[in-house]
Amino acid sequence: MASPEIPESLDILRRVFGYDTFRDGQQEIVEHVASGGDALVLMPTGGGKSLCYQIPALVRKGTGVVISPLIALMQDQVDAMRALGVRAGFLNSTQDHDERRVVEAQFTTGELDLLYLAPERLRLASTVELLGRGDVSLFAIDEAHCVSQWGHDFRPDYLMLSGLHERWPEIPRIALTATATEATRREIASRLQLEEAKHFVASFDRPNIQYRIEPKTDAKRQLLRLLQAEHKGDAGIVYCLSRNSVEKHAAFLTENGIEALPYHAGLDGQTRAANQARFLREDGLVIVATIAFGMGIDKPDVRFVAHLDLPKSVEGYYQETGRAGRDGLPSTAWLAYGLQDVVNLRKMIDGGEGDAAFRRRQAMALDAMLALCETVECRRVRLLDYFGQSAEPCGNCDTCLTPPESWDATVPAQKVLSVIVRLDRERRQKFGAGHIIDILLGKKNAKVIQFDHDTLKPFGVGTDLREAEWRGVVRQLLAQGLVAVESNHGTLVQTDESAAVLRGERTVLMRREPDRPAPKAAKAAKDRKAPVELPAEAMPLFERLRAWRAATAKEQGVPAYVIFHDATLREIATALPTTLTELGHVNGVGENKLAKYGPQVLETLTSAD
């Protein structure tokens, strides 16, 4: 029973979920929705959005209906709820008639706290009729940015969700998304008729994620070094742009002793689903994927997200990296990017589909991403600034840990531009960055000789820098808009701003790459409870608990994290509870899990002696 002083929502948080306190913003949202208000919630990935509708659904009479596009994950979501003792079910196209009938009956007789529903089911009159026969406590619209026609996750069925409001005007609705820009928020509000709703914008900071961006030299080796040095045995996601690159890198990691599974749209549905399921269920697997992977993946213990290609926008980058460290423990977001990424993306945008306005928007998104890569300031400050939030330098990103110097690159920039100006006269040929650098370095290779480029005035004037350094210079010129990519051939050309540099009227500052990669120095999360650091002596116990968890999860056919999160196991391994009451104080151990697993956990602890 809730004691009279504790609000019902906090009591549920503690008893059912086993968490002591709400995170930033959760309580306000929960109370607003529980008391019948509409809400539009913007919270970063891993911020804790689910509780914002799960708890109101438990407080209010009737069933909370959750609209979610993530059919493949519904079973896991429902299993996770049931493990907490919450009565949950789902309806989607993966079920047969009989399975659906059972859930429908549970709903109409009031035996469900939560019903997960795929949006396409609302197209059926029978679904709307079903909802009319039961008692709906609230509608939660998850991944609400799917209503945005400009976004990459657009789902036409989401457009129909405004109909819910017309049919059930008095039932509260809560829409949630991690897509943060002002424009997206306005679009969601208008399409879902949530202009009148209260808007909650949480801090987008994810303090436990360490952001690192480094120039790409040998992506494979760089990745391997990162995983071997810092993430042995950890679960993580590696993002690549192309299917081919996904396959190649998954094979490469596996050959090097790191078990990695591929995931991309070219794989047949079954393999894809199997790989996703294994990643979710097993400990310590790496998934190498295109960005098709990840929406709704709520695995809490993803320790790193690595990007081997430049993301097209800061929003995409932030959503993808946000999949690391949902449990609040230290995690890494690592990106390697190079000159060729910039050339490819610029070419793709210029030669791509859509009208001029669309291409302009894409180009601006890319520029913001490049500015983030080349900044000498704190990455987090830049990221949050992009989402309209301010912050202090964080101490937990590469630029804070190893501040890069900036250097005056005006002369090298002039050298590059002077080659480009001369090549401009032979514009029908493809002269990419490599050729320009060969000329600067004075290399007499076949192409140079074929076009007589060893007779150009700047031939060989660049021997003061190494090839890798020249690539850095050209990359940064591209990022700063002082050189552009001509879309047809990928030839580098001047821009309106280049002339001032050539005339010596403009200084060009560049970021000097630190010689060594940033040291790993994770700072404890600022405003969240500092995660429990695991002392070496607690490690064997933690491993034993993990083994118990793996066996139990397998037996029950659920992902390991549905039983307990890593963070909870760490706390158990250090706090060493000896009674069920003590175990119940550990964060993440609610009443239901205590009753169900408590004795086994205590036994695992004592049998270790």
Q: Which residues here bind Zn ion, judged by CB under 5 A?
A: 378, 380, 394, 397, 400
43 binds, among ligand ADP, Zn ion, none (CB under 5 to 8 A by kind): ligand ADP
Tokens of 556: 């029950």
Identify which of residues 378 and 433 has a Cβ nearer to Zn ion in the complex. Answer: 378
Contact 508, 413 (CB under 8 A): yes
Residue 397 interacts with which of ligand ADP, Zn ion, none, CB < 5 to 8 Å by class: Zn ion
Give me 510's structure tokens: 């560049």
Among ligand ADP, Zn ion, none, the one that 476 touches (CB under a kind-dependent 5 to 8 A) is none
Of 10, 16, 19, 171, which lies in the binding site for ligand ADP, with binding defined by CB under 6 A?
19
Please identify, among the stretches 43-51, 64-72, 108-116, 514-522, the one whose residues bind ligand ADP according to the rule CB under 6 A: 43-51
**Of the two residues 136 and 378, which places its CB atom closer to Zn ion in the complex?**
378
**22 touches ligand ADP (CB under 6 A):** yes
Q: Measured from the CB atom, is 267 or 394 closer to Zn ion?
A: 394
- Between 275 and 321, name the residue whose CB sits nearer to Zn ion: 321
327 binds, among Zn ion, ligand ADP, none (CB under 5 to 8 A by kind): ligand ADP
Picked from ligand ADP, Zn ion, none, the partner binding residue 23 (CB below 5 to 8 A depending on kind) is: ligand ADP
Residue 51 binding ligand ADP, by CB under 6 A? yes
Residue 241 Cα distances to 244, 368, 381, 474, angstroms: 9, 19, 27, 22
Q: Decide: 53 and 140 in contact? Cβ < 8 Å.
A: yes
Q: Specify the stretch interacting with ligand ADP by CB under 6 A; choose among 15-23, 87-95, 191-199, 547-555.
A: 15-23
Subset of residues 327 to 346 that bind ligand ADP, contact rule: CB under 6 A: 327
> What is the DSSP annotation of 231-285?
-TT-EEEEE-SSHHHHHHHHHHHHHTT--EEEE-TTS-HHHHHHHHHHHHHSSS-
- Find which of Zn ion, ligand ADP, none residue 380 binds, CB within 5 to 8 Å per kind: Zn ion
Distance of CA 500 to the CA centre of its chain: 40
**Helix-helix angle 433-441:339-351, to 10 degrees:** 140
- 508, 410 in Cβ contact below 8 A? yes
From residue 245 to residue 284, the character string flagging contacts with ligand ADP as x (rule: CB under 6 A) and all else as - is ----------------------------------------
Type of residue at 264: H
Q: Hey, what are 50's tokens?
A: 């689910």
Cα 254 from Cα 257, distance rounded (Å): 5
Question: Which residue lies nearer to Zn ion by CB, 340 or 402?
Answer: 402
Dihedral angle over CA of 78, 79, 83, 88, nearest 10: 30
* Shortest spacing between CB 22 and ligand ADP, in angstroms: 5
Backbone angles phi, psi at 532, to 5 degrees: -70, 120
Q: Taking contact as CB under 6 A, which single stretch among the options 17-25, 167-175, 240-248, 464-472 is the one that binds ligand ADP?
A: 17-25
Cβ-based nearer residue to ligand ADP, 207 or 300: 300
Altogether, the residues listed in the chain come to a count of 609
The answer to the question of residue 43 lying near ligand ADP (CB under 6 A) is yes
Contact of residue 487 among Zn ion, ligand ADP, none (CB under 5-8 Å per partner type): none
Q: 3-class DSSP state for residue 549?
A: helix
Please tell me the distance from the alpha carbon of residue 229 to that of residue 568, in angstroms, as a whole number. Answer: 25
- Asked if 300 touches ligand ADP (CB under 6 A), the answer is yes
Contact 44, 177 (CB under 8 A): no
Phi/psi at 366 (nearest 5 deg)? -65, -40
Stretch that binds ligand ADP, among 49-57, 100-108, 371-379, 424-432 (CB under 6 A): 49-57
For residue 88, the surrounding DSSP H or E stretch is: strand 88-91
Q: Which is nearer to Zn ion, 378 or 510 (CB)?
A: 378
Q: Does 559 bind ligand ADP (CB under 6 A)?
A: no
Enumerate residues 6+ apart whose C-beta is below 8 A from 456: 419, 422, 439
Q: How far is the CB of 121 from ligand ADP (least distance, A)?
A: 21
Applying CB under 6 A, the residues found at the interface with ligand ADP are 19, 22-23, 26, 43, 45-51, 298, 300, 326-327
